[in-house]
Structure 1
Amino acid sequence: MLDHLRRIRSQGEKSAAVLADLPVGALLRGVPSSVGFGVRSYVRSLRAERRRYPEIPTVFPTPGLVSAAFLDELVVAVLAGGRLSPDPEDAQRIRTEIADAVAKFRAEGYLDDPTRFHPEPPAPEDPVLRDRLYGTIGYEQLTFESGYMPRAGVPGATRWQGAGANQRVWAYVLRHPGAPRPWLVNLHGFGMGRPGDLATFRSPRLHRELGVNVIHPVLPMHGPRKSTRTHDGTFISFDYLGNVHGLGQAVWDVRRCLDWVRGQGDADTPVAVHGLSLGGYVAALVAGLEDLDCVVVGVPSVDMAWVMSHHVPGDIEREVRAAGLLGADAETVHRVVSPLAVTPRVPLERRFVYAGLADRMATPQQAYRLWKHWEEPSVCWYRGSHIGAVWNRRAHRFIEDALTSSGIGRRNTW
């Protein structure tokens, strides 16, 4: 559905195409939520001095903005219906795994210093590159074995490793011939991970106009790495240890891609990481583990426990809470993979955050928390939704300015 949304340009076409494919329940849930967003936005615009987050700009709820929020609400309703509705028989297992994992993390010191949870990976072995074509976009397909192994003794490891397709890393590459160029690493959002991401991120344009090389790693359980077997590990759900292993592997795989990238140039080749949504979460986490020249995080959720609590369907929230799947332990078990628990190694002037004021999936407050944790770097609050980030012009300009100001490419000068 996200791939389909990205191809739609006019607001009318967006709404018609999405509505045609959504269940009635999602439509009914999305209407009051988006209307409520409009009302709350209007009230906040009238009393700015009493707002909880005064640094986030107020936004007047125009019909177009409320419609954009409605699209976000629809996507949330569809995704939450499956991933955030755990089977009752799984609840006890998940609760037991959470308790065991928290005890393990505390004993190993991972909660005090989450960077210790993430071992430094070796450079990729036997990487394979093949020429490929997506429409008119020529690119290289990079693959290699992930080599990721969950920490010993952490619950859910065997289940996670059972996803065979996930054990191989995929990435889509645009390279210039000749002398080394700066690199841009683009990390996709939830439900993405296909070659079409090259167009969504406008990578051919950045490759051409800024003169940069670009690589799109595919995150675990996405694109060609997605498992079709229901008993394999689940990523981004109430199966919390699946979240921990998935984000741990995402960091491992991205860092191995960074090793490959650095091997294509010299020691001084600048490298930037840009992440969107789930990719923003991973980018912010990687920024606490790697020395990068620039990091740009877009429409991020940076608190996985909050994601679960905020988006759980209302009709099962009481049961989920009674099962012990919400609360302090949910926050603690995710700490080892939390961007808010690590200090960025990227200089302040090269950290960048952008977020949509009508974002109903991550919400602006998530970007605000990262912005505060990052010591208030350059930020762009655009008038638009979460999904709208992929075609918002102000966000596009912000990304390009972030890259060029950090020495990652130069407009039309190569």
Structure 2
Amino acid sequence: MAIVAAPVDAPALVPDIPGGDADSRGLPSRSELTAGQRAIVDASVVADIGLRTAVASLVGVAMLPPVIAATLRRSELKAERDNLAFYADLAARQDSTASFPAPTVAPAVSARAANPLANWMAHGHVEHLRFTSSFEPVNPAMRLRWQRLERNNVVHAQHWRHDEDGPRPTLCVIHGFLGSAYMFNGLFFSLPWFFRSGYDIVLYTLPFHGRRAEKYSPFSGYGCFANGMAGFAESMAQAVHDFRSVLDYLEYTGVGRIALTGMSLGGYTSSLIASADDRLAAVIPNVPLVTPESAFDDWFPANKLVTLGRKAGGVSKVESAAASSYHSPLNYAPRVPKDRRLIITGLGDRLAPPQQAEALWEHWDRCALHWFPGNHVLHVSQPEYLRRMTRFLRTFMF
């Protein structure tokens, strides 16, 4: 089977204003930017602070019930402290095989034709995949709660396939917090262009998002933060587990090369999967969070609830950070080779500040790091980093 390598030129969705690759020192300082780049970064920062406040408000809404419960009931306080100790002990081992055990049951995947809009956008054959998750919380104290979940424990993904010559190299995409809509992600990541360039595409839905949101959830992603610190930890563990089941399915259908990218929470998840599974041909976290514990401290008003929860439970920031390192990619050695890692960040991002990406860059042996002069959502110079992604992937995927 002959597959033509993807072309280098990507479509221009936003103004093509130059970013660049980090040098040996890391990301550029403000003084090293051009006047135009500084203006864009400064404007991006102002806009992103507003977005951060809006997102933090939604996170706060989700966090409020468990914080109130822990404040009012001593049993909840003890349970939260026990959970903190459990995840801190597991994190201290720095063993991804113990923290994120591989699925032992092959997924029974049901595939049906996606809606006509998906086929129109892809200009190809699109299927909706679903299967029952085999995930079991690593923390025994959370297992009964997880068994009661219904919608969350059914995994969903959208699969764009080329029918004419069998499975192609596949680019998997993981969305960010709140942003689970397939059409939005397809357009944002220029996936129709990647599809026409020869890739098959998989859009994976994170736990508690989209069709996986539990009944009566006020918004997509609510459940990630509605079950306390332990609930968020297990949400990340399930995100890794279920994606590895998707990898099992793709391998079973004959896919030989799989790359993974994701934005924001999806970038965080992508980085964590790269620490747990060695089957990825390449990984590209985009504006990733890697230490949400520190990020939340800057997210008003969610930071107030985090502080209240710590005080109510008599938990120090050090203890809380030790527990949350369980699901941080900085806690584990990457299993994807250095030359197959590429990190993308925006200098004006204040939801996932560039310092988060730079911390991952340091941990990942100073692999390729590309920056653009925009924020979390407005990816100024996106055409440039799409071309960067294409050049990066071409060697491994075709």
- CA gap 1:318/1:341 in 2 versus in 1, 3 angstroms: closer
Q: Which residue of 1 aligns with 2:26?
A: 55
Higher relative contact order by CA 8 Å / sep ≥ 6: 1 or 2?
2
Structure 2 residue aligned with 1:170: 156
Contact 2:88/2:323 (8 A) holds in 1: no
Are positions 1:100 and 2:82 aligned together? yes
Q: Give the aligned partner of residue 44 of structure 2.
A: 68
| Distance in structure 2 (CA, Å) of the matches to 1:251 and 1:397 | 28
1:73 alignment partner, SS class:
helix
Closer/same/farther in 2, CA of residues 228 and 71 from structure 1, 3 Å limit: farther
Give the whole-Å Cα distance in 1 for the aligned partners of 2:106 and 2:357.
32
TM-score normalised by length of structure 2:
0.80
Residues 98 and 330 in structure 1, CA contact (< 8 A), matched pair in contact too: no
**Would the alpha carbon gap of residues 226 and 388 (structure 1) be closer, same or farther in structure 2, given more than 3 Å must change?**
same
How far does residue 400 in structure 1 lie from its aligned partner after superposition? Answer: 1.6
Distance 1:185 1:403 in 2: 12
Matched position secondary structure for 2:236: helix
Name which of structure 1's ranges 301-310 and 321-330 shifts more when overlaid on structure 2. 321-330
State the AA in 1 paired with 2:42: V
The answer to whether residue 297 in structure 2 is matched with residue 290 in structure 1 is no
Question: How far did residue 226 of structure 1 move?
Answer: 1.1
Match of 1:113 among 94, 103, 107: 94
Unmatched tracts of structure 2, length 5 or more: 1-12, 16-23
Corresponding residue for residue 81 of structure 1: 57
Percent identity of the aligned residues? 27
Q: Is the 8 A contact 1:157 1:245 kept in 2?
A: no
Which residue of structure 2 lines up, in the alignment, with residue 24 of structure 1?
none
Give the TM-score normalised by structure 1.
0.78
Q: CA 1:142 to 1:174, structure 2 compared with 1: closer, same or farther past 3 Å? A: same
Question: What is the CA deviation profile of residues 193-224 of structure 1, one whole-angstrom value per residue up to 9, with x for unaligned ones?
Answer: 22212222211210111x11111110001111
User: Retained in 2: the 8 A contact 1:146–1:253?
Assistant: yes
Distance of 2:88 and 2:14 partners within structure 1: 51
Aligned residue for 2:151, secondary structure, equals helix
For 2:234, which of 245, 248, 267 is the aligned residue? 245
Structure 2 counterpart of 1:198, from 169, 183, 186: 186
Q: Is the 8 A contact 2:172 2:261 kept in 1?
A: yes
After superposition, where does 1:258-407 map in structure 2 within 5 Å? 258-265=247-254, 269-291=256-278, 292-313=280-301, 319-323=308-312, 324=314, 327-389=317-379, 392-405=382-395, 407=396
The alignment covers a number of residue pairs equal to 354
Deviation at residue 246 of structure 1 after TM alignment: 0.4
Q: 1 CA distance for matches of 2:315 and 2:384?
A: 38
Distance 1:236 1:127, change over 3 A: same
Report how far residue 82 of structure 1 moved: 3.4
Aligned counterparts of 1:375 and 1:284: Cα–Cα separation in 2: 14
Unpaired stretches in structure 1, ≥5 consecutive residues: 1-8, 12-52, 410-414
Q: Distance in 2 between matches of 1:382 and 1:10?
A: 12
Farther-moved stretch of structure 1 (188-197 vs 222-231): 222-231
Partner Cα separation in structure 2 for residue 229 and residue 282 of structure 1: 25
Aligned residue identity for 1:338: S
Residues in 2 aligned to 1:77 and 1:350: alpha-carbon distance in whole angstroms? 34
Q: Give 3-state SS (helix, strand or coil) of 2:322's partner.
A: helix
**C-alpha distance in 2 between matches for 1:390 and 1:62:** 12
Structure 2 vs 1, CA of residues 395 and 236 (structure 1 numbering), >3 Å: closer, same or farther? farther
**Is 1:234 aligned with 2:236?**
no
Cross-structure match for 2:206: 219
Shift of 1:254: 0.5
Work out the CA distance in 2 between the residues paired with 1:325 and 1:83: 20
Query: Partners in 2 of 1:207 and 1:123 — Cα distance?
Result: 30
Query: Does the 8 Å contact 1:128/1:144 carry over to 2?
Result: yes
Matched-pair contact (CA < 8 Å) for 1:99–1:329: no
With over 3 angstroms needed to count, the CA separation of the structure-2 counterparts of 1:270 and 1:148, relative to structure 1, is same
